[in-house]
């Protein structure tokens, strides 16, 4: 177990900016889908996803409810990540200003520590890099933070170029790590682009823009780098995943339909996405789908929502989903 401390109350703390109080819950934006009138094209796209899902076999998985001890309030979970020691990092959107947005638990659910108070307006993504550092993203301020595993801030990257600062969701969404130490960030809600940074946070390049063509994104919501150095981007509103080389050159895409929230890749190169219909609240009829980019073959599915999916070093899928209560999260362990 990694060494760590809990605060005296066993609770975690955070500040919420007034501009986003109404948008704190994870489902606040996606849940509007059933109230938004869809175009005929969007409805056809959604029905195509439903038809596709029916043809995909189920993947055998063990569903694990990780109950946090002591009981910890986690609401509006946005993402989870895992480290090599089996610890789970949860980023959520608490309404209580005295709660931290990042909670760390061991593999048995024991809460080790929490941090991030006062640093986030809309906590969005969380990742653990190969060295065990923790990266978290704010979707309103469009800032990326790097922490030690214990929660000490090491680096802050301001992505900038926010088209409309009055919009709650108008910033960066996720990060992933290249073998050369560079960081790739998806800036999806308003800009529809991917940015590359050096290890010290200096911007190197960017690629992509808003649109539906190859190399364009309506929402670059999630980014993941494969072991062989390809950059995969979940293009949420276009219902597809696209992949690129390290210079941003378009290599391929796979269209699933609906909304494609997540893309995550295991250390073995297994690629997973999460696709969901547009006309229902977030999490309804959602499926994690495993596919092979080389052949385009879809391998199997898991019935589960994943706002931002990640794969722990041991292969466990972390969908960032609450289970039965506010103090438990879902882990998915593929069966061999």
> pLDDT per residue over 169-194, tens digit each?
999 999 999 999 999 999 999 999 99
Predicted local distance difference test score (pLDDT) of residue 314: 96
Predicted local distance difference test score (pLDDT) of residue 279: 94
Predicted local distance difference test score (pLDDT) of residue 73: 86
Residue 4: is it exposed, middle or buried by C-beta count within 10 angstroms (0-12/13-18/19+)? middle
> pLDDT per residue over 150-160, tens digit each?
999 999 999 99
Residue 238, helix vs strand vs coil: helix
Taking the CA atoms of residue 159, residue 313, residue 249 and residue 187 in that order, the dihedral angle to the nearest 10 degrees is -20
Residue 29 has pLDDT above 80, yes or no: no
On whether residue 173 sits in a domain, the answer given is: yes
On whether residue 254 sits in a domain, the answer given is: yes
On whether residue 10 sits in a domain, the answer given is: no
CB contact at 8 A, 172 and 139: yes
Residue 19 has pLDDT above 90, yes or no: no
Predicted local distance difference test score (pLDDT) of residue 151: 98
On whether residue 96 sits in a domain, the answer given is: yes
Mean pLDDT score, 291-310: 97
On whether residue 2 sits in a domain, the answer given is: no
Structure tokens at 50: 């439903």
> pLDDT per residue over 314-335, tens digit each?
999 999 987 867 789 999 999 9
H/E element holding 153?
strand 153-158
Do the strands 88-91 and 220-225 form a parallel or antiparallel pair, or are they unpaired? Answer: unpaired
On whether residue 7 sits in a domain, the answer given is: no
Residue 6 has pLDDT above 50, yes or no: no
Predicted local distance difference test score (pLDDT) of residue 9: 36
DSSP annotation of 252 reads E
pLDDT band at 27 (very low <50, low <70, confident <90, very high): very low
**Measured between alpha carbons, how far is 31 from 279 in angstroms, rounded to an integer?**
9
On whether residue 49 sits in a domain, the answer given is: yes
Q: What CATH number does the domain containing 319 carry? A: 2.120.10.30
Mean pLDDT score, 252-268: 97
Domain span at 104:
18-334
**For the chain, what is the mean pLDDT?**
90
More confident residue, 14 or 284: 284
Mean pLDDT score, 271-286: 96
> pLDDT per residue over 71-114, tens digit each?
888 889 999 999 999 999 999 999 887 899 999 999 999 999 99
Predicted local distance difference test score (pLDDT) of residue 296: 93
On whether residue 6 sits in a domain, the answer given is: no
Query: Count of domains in the chain?
Result: 1
């Amino acid at each position: 177990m990694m060494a760590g401390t809990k605060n005296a109350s066993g609770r975690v703390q955070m500040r919420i900016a007034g501009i986003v109080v109404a948008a704190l819950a994870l489902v606040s934006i996606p849940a509007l889908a059933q109230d938004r009138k869809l175009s005929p094209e969007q409805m056809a796209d959604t029905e195509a996803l439903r038809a596709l899902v029916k043809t995909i076999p189920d993947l055998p998985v063990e569903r694990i409810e990780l109950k946090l001890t002591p009981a910890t309030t986690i609401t509006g979970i946005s993402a989870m990540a895992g480290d090599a020691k089996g610890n789970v990092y949860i980023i959520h959107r608490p309404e209580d200003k005295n709660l931290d947005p990042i909670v760390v638990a061991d593999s048995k659910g024991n809460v080790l520590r929490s941090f991030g108070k006062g640093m986030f307006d809309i906590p969005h993504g969380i990742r653990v890099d190969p060295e065990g550092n923790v990266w978290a993203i704010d979707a309103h301020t469009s800032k990326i933070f790097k922490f030690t595993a214990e929660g000490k801030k090491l680096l802050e990257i301001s992505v900038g170029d926010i088209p409309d600062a009055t919009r709650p969701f108008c910033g960066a969404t996720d990060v992933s790590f290249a073998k050369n130490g560079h960081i790739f960030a998806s800036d999806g809600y308003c800009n529809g682009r991917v940015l590359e940074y050096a290890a010290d946070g200096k911007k190197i390049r960017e690629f992509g823009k808003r649109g539906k063509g190859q190399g364009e994104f309506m929402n670059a919501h999630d980014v993941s780098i494969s072991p062989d150095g390809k950059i995969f981007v979940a293009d949420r509103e276009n219902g597809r995943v696209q992949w690129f080389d390290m210079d941003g050159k378009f290599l391929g895409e796979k269209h699933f339909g609906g909304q494609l929230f997540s893309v995550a890749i295991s250390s073995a190169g297994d690629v997973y996405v999460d696709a969901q219909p547009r006309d229902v609240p977030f999490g309804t009829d959602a499926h994690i789908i495993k596919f092979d980019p080389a052949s385009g073959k879809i391998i199997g599915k898991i019935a589960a929502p994943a706002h931002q999916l990640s794969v722990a070093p041991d292969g466990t899928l972390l969908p960032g989903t609450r289970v039965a209560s506010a103090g438990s999260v879902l882990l998915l362990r593929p069966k061999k």
